[in-house]
Copies of this chain bind each other. A is one copy, B any other.
Amino acid sequence: MPSGITIKDVAREAGCGVATVSRVLNDSGPASAETRKRVLDAAARLKFSFSDVGRSLQSRQTRAIGCLVPSLVNPVFAEAVQELQACALERGFHVLLMCSNYDPALEAEAMRILLAKRVDGMILTLSAASDCAELATVQDRNIPACMMYNTPVPGVPSAFVDNRSAARDVAGEFARAGHRRVGFLALRFGSSDRARERYEGFLEGCRAMGMDDPVLVEVDEAIRFEDVNLQRLLSGDRALTGLFASNDYLALSVISAVHDLGLTVPGDVSVVGFDGIAIGRAFRPSLATIVTDAREMGRIAADTVIEMITTQDMPVPELSGLAYSFRRGESLGSPRGGRTDDGEVAASPTPSCHPKRNSTVPKEQQS
């Protein structure tokens, strides 16, 4: 019996009709000073508070924004969600949260729940925006939506950074430090558009800099580096001298794993991350990474979706990619036997890199 007491009880208590109660409590219509007082008193006496479910039914809006992210443990999403929640609250909306755990099936189920809940808008970070059936439904129904971290698809705006371009920059940084053989480390590579885009940009960048193609290292959610056999990747003739992790969380984990192996960063291997989470700066070695502004992502997404909700028939806004920047950090150094800048590397054959496959590669801002 949640609350139990309804507007009718208040009306009875105050000796008037429900319409009057609604009017005075919402300040939405005329009422004599005397009635007003009676109603207010009655409501207070009964500790009445409106039920949003009745309200939502009649107003045909819930003032809820559905939010779906792959994880909260990754600080990037935690920050974004916290910020967008605060923004929403400020504007009288609240957030219905779902975590997909990077699982496409859960993702789909979460979207269906959000749809059933009749949220007024959605903020989504999807594994694969381009082929998400539920996202199509969202568009069908004209539900305002905005993505975060996903590259936008036609009809759905997104608060995002250009993953490819940023990853190319990272390749440049590795090259400048003298690396030639590096790896790309991804969590659940298969089910994350972001990881894939970062890999593709990294690959392009490596080729452009005359480095070897990066080795793709995939880890599962548990991040068990024993399985990956980090040791083997980092030793021997063709040892990797650098690792680009698809996010900071992973980067920090791999640094830790490297230490556990008795090796050092960046002595034995350099590590670069992606996201720019705060803790990376405090870490020793401090984490070299692409810095993005998670809170701004959240804020932009919230603003966008709320604006779409509140203004009718708005055209889908065009959000441009957000600024990012490379942060130097101690985790990126020169390889052991390496040249500092551009030594004999440039002199060697430098096999031309991208035989084909340079499809659509945007590269807007470069903050």
| A interface list, Cβ under 8 A from B | 1-4, 47, 49-54, 56-57, 60-62, 71-73, 75, 78-79, 81-82, 85-86, 89, 94-99, 101, 106, 109-110, 112-113, 115-118, 120, 137, 140-143, 252-253, 255-256, 259, 279, 281-284
Contacts and interface: CB of A to CB of B under 8 A. Distances in A.
Contact of A53 (B56, B81, B82, B283): B56
Given A73-B75, A96-B96, A284-B259, A141 B3 contact: yes
B2 A141 contact: yes
B282 A49 contact: no
Counting chain B CB atoms within 10 Å of each CB, the highest count among A3, A53, A73, A109 belongs to A53
A76 to B, nearest CB: 10
Contacts of A72: 72, 78-79, 81-82, 85
Contacts of A115: 3, 49
A118 B51 contact: yes
Contacts of A81: 72, 97
Contact of A47 (B57, B97, B137, B284): B137
Contact of A140 (B47, B62, B71, B279): B47
Given A47-B137, A52-B116, A72-B78, A2 B98 contact: no
21 contacts: A2-B118, A2-B141, A3-B115, A3-B141, A53-B117, A53-B118, A72-B79, A72-B82, A73-B79, A81-B97, A85-B98, A86-B99, A86-B101, A95-B98, A96-B96, A253-B282, A256-B281, A259-B284, A279-B279, A282-B283, A284-B284
A248 B174 CA distance: 33
A137 B324 CA distance: 46
Given A94-B113, A256-B281, A73 B62 contact: no
B53 A252 contact: no
Counting chain B CB atoms within 10 Å of each CB, the highest count among A51, A78, A85, A113 belongs to A78
Nearest to A143: B2
Contacts of A89: 98, 106, 109-110
